[in-house]
């Protein structure tokens, strides 16, 4: 009987999640309702939805493995995230909430012109398609392994199509309202799972093992001896680079801005944005604690000596081998939820940007919005399958994809805010130049033979945007004079 418990728990969760999301669709009557949710969602739900959107299966399974080898260094990124999201709340959200804007790129359309708006939107859609496709493929393999260990052996293609189809159904029918509430439930599940896992691991340690945690230095949140340019955990990198990365990901990316714009007021949107940095840091801490506790339990043994080919295998093996039936199934459902949460948010944001920025038909019927959602679901499956034959690291590749465009997107917003008189041609030239330069930096620049740490990609991109956009604006002024 216990062998059936985990599959029953997993299937029951998926059925309940889908049913609840469909129930939320009752209030959605137009295409705008599906992507804007009447602008009446509570701040706390938006906060949890933001966190669920930025985390994924890779987050849940990778951070414990990182912490096993390096301690709490991932938590240090939270300091930069908090500073960046505070800046988003104070500077960027008032611009979005001031008028009847449907997307983050509506602001660029008002400030520069429709061509700049469409360029930013197309860039968002392409990078989101590639990044989410990589994310989806990378999540499929551990989900398959976890399901097989819990009595549900399915092929990667079945899991990939099944997760995407199920997510697309409740996203297309329920819209942003369903996405936010399902995100809230999904985040609660895997955060609860991380907390329970940490508690069970702590209980299983003896006094000597518990003491080793305090004396080992694994609770340090920064890599004080790490190289600034190549390690994301060096203090300057985590704080400065992390702050600008957060400004780009949460202030210039429709994926996050869409959630904030669904708040009841600017104040609620600001609260949700700042609180999300605190909540995601707590999640990082919980997952890191699981990794450090596993390190203490194993006496610091090398992962290779334990039969692991990758640090990402550590936490999934703990879930299937050490947790009791029922709880193990709940954790597997939590891992699946992490994938579905980020996927549903991507589908809804891509639908909203397509309708508003490209088609200019935000108030059309629900049928068009649902058709666009279905199109992007199929496209994401294709992108995930295309990455299946790649030899690149999925996590690194996903971060690099964002690195191509985040600096250009944030740079365009800041150019419009800071440089008076900046025109559409200058902004578009700077935007395109930044993407080209970032491609060169990501592909060929290797300080000390290593890649540049991902938090620095956004600051570099912003600098390129200003170095190109500001002089072009000055030349344009002289030409007009």
Q: What is the per-residue pLDDT across 218-243, written as a single tens digit (0 to 9) for each?
A: 899 888 888 999 998 999 999 999 99
Give the integer Cα–Cα distance in Å for 83 and 78.
9
Torsion of CA 259, 264, 266, 269, to 10 degrees: -40
Give the pLDDT of residue 31: 58
Q: Which run of H or of E encompasses 427?
A: helix 424-444
Place of tokens 């690291």: 393
If one compares 476 and 136, the residue with the highest pLDDT of the two is 136
Q: How many helices (H) and strands (E) does the chain have?
A: 20, 0
Q: Find out whether 228 and 450 touch, Cβ atoms under 8 Å.
A: no
Give the pLDDT of residue 1: 45
Q: Which residues of 315-325 are buried (b: 16+ CB within 10 A; e: fewer)?
A: bbbbbbeebeb
Mean pLDDT of the chain: 88
Q: For residue 224, give both structure tokens.
A: 């004080």
Give the integer Cα–Cα distance in Å for 373 and 359.
14
Average pLDDT over residues 237-253: 94
Give the integer Cα–Cα distance in Å for 415 and 252.
12
Give the integer Cα–Cα distance in Å for 57 and 55.
7
Question: Quick one: DSSP state of residue 73?
Answer: G
Place of tokens 């990378």: 138
Which domains are present in the chain?
2-388 (1.20.1730.10)
**CA–CA–CA angle 238, 243, 248 (5° rounding):** 125
* Residues in a beta bridge with 41: 263
Average pLDDT over residues 331-358: 89
Tens-digit pLDDT profile for residues 397-436: 666 778 789 999 999 999 999 988 888 999 999 999 999 9
Based on its alpha-carbon atoms, the radius of gyration of the chain, rounded to whole angstroms, reads 22
Give the integer Cα–Cα distance in Å for 46 and 53.
10
**Per-residue CA distances from 249 to 243, 291, 399, 440 (Å):** 10, 26, 11, 21
């Amino acid at each position: 009987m216990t062998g059936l418990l985990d599959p029953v728990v997993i299937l029951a969760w998926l059925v309940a999640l889908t049913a609840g999301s469909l129930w939320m669709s009752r209030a959605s009557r137009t295409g705008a309702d599906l992507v804007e949710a009447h602008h009446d969602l509570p701040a706390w739900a938006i906060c949890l939805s933001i966190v669920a959107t930025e985390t994924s299966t890779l987050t849940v399974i990778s951070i414990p493995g990182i912490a096993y080898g390096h301690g709490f260094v991932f938590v240090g990124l939270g300091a930069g995230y908090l500073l960046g999201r505070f800046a988003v709340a104070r500077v960027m959200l008032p611009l979005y909430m001031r008028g009847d804007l449907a997307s983050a790129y509506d602001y660029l359309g008002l400030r520069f012109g429709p061509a700049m708006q469409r360029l930013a939107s197309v860039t968002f859609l392409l990078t989101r398609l590639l990044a989410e496709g990589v994310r989806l493929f990378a999540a499929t393999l551990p989900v398959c392994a976890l399901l097989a260990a819990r009595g549900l052996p399915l092929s990667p293609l079945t899991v990939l199509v099944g997760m995407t189809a199920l997510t697309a159904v409740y996203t297309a029918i329920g819209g942003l309202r369903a996405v936010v509430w399902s995100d809230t439930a999904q985040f609660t599940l895997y955060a609860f799972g991380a907390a329970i896992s940490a508690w069970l691991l702590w209980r299983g340690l003896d006094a000597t093992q518990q003491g080793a945690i305090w004396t080992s230095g694994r609770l340090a949140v920064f890599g004080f001896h790490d190289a600034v340019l190549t390690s994301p955990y060096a203090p300057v990198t985590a704080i400065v680079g992390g702050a600008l990365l957060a400004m780009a990901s949460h202030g210039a990316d429709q994926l996050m801005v869409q959630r904030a714009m669904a708040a009841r007021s600017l104040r609620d949107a600001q609260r949700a944005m700042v609180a999300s940095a605190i909540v995601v840091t707590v999640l990082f801490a919980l997952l890191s604690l699981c990794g450090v506790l596993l390190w203490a339990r194993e006496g610091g043994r090398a992962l290779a000596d334990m039969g692991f080919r990758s640090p990402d295998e550590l936490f999934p093996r703990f879930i299937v081998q050490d947790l009791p039936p029922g709880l193990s199934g709940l954790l597997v459902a939590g891992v699946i939820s992490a994938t579905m949460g980020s996927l549903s948010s991507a589908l809804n944001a891509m639908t909203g940007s397509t309708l508003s920025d490209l088609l200019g038909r935000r108030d059309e019927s629900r049928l068009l919005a649902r058709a666009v959602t279905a199109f992007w679901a199929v496209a994401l499956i294709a992108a995930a399958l295309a990455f299946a034959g790649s030899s690149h690291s999925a996590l690194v590749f996903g971060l690099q994809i964002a690195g191509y465009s985040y600096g250009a997107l944030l740079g365009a917003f800041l150019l419009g805010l800071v440089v008076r008189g900046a025109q559409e041609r200058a902004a578009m030239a700077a935007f395109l130049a930044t993407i080209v330069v970032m491609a060169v930096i990501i592909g060929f620049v290797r300080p000390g033979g290593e890649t540049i740490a991902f938090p620095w990609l956004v600051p570099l991109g912003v600098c390129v945007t200003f170095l190109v956009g500001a002089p072009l604006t000055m030349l344009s002024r002289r030409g007009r004079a």
